[in-house]
Amino acid sequence: MSSRQESVFPEYETETTQTSKLLRKFKETPFVPIGMAGFAMVVGYGLYRLKHRGDMKMSLHLIHVRVAAQGFVVGAITCGVLYSMFREYVMDPKE
């Protein structure tokens, strides 16, 4: 037996920084960071509007913010799935 074992995942064990790993993941799945950013924007806007909600109950306002944030994330995930299916089956079909 040799004292040096070959790596099982050589492309993942190379010397890379966290930033390069993050950028690589964003290139592989671009709609995940879009969904995360949209979620943060909707929640931020909802918290900003919390002060100026008028006579609306707080629980109702928070439910609306939650539904809007979830809708944005689900929409981004759906777009990501459709984009990956388009890229896999239309742009580069493997027959």
Calculate the CA dihedral of residues 26, 28, 30, 32 and round it to 10 degrees: -80
Q: Domain range holding 83?
A: 14-91
Stretch 31-37: mean pLDDT: 83
Percentage with pLDDT > 70 across the chain: 83
Q: Examine the pLDDT at 68 and tell me if it is beyond 60.
A: yes
Structure-model confidence comparison of residues 61 and 11, the more confident one: 61
Does any domain span residue 78?
A: yes
Stretch 56-62: mean pLDDT: 89
Stretch 68-95: mean pLDDT: 86
> How many other CB atoms sit within 10 Å of the CB of residue 70?
12
Does any domain span residue 56?
A: yes
Residue 39 CA from chain centroid, whole number:
9
Does any domain span residue 70?
A: yes
Number of domains in the chain: 1
Q: Examine the pLDDT at 8 and tell me if it is beyond 70.
A: no
Q: How far is CA 88 from CA 76, 78, 92, in A?
A: 18, 15, 5
Structure-model confidence comparison of residues 70 and 51, the more confident one: 70
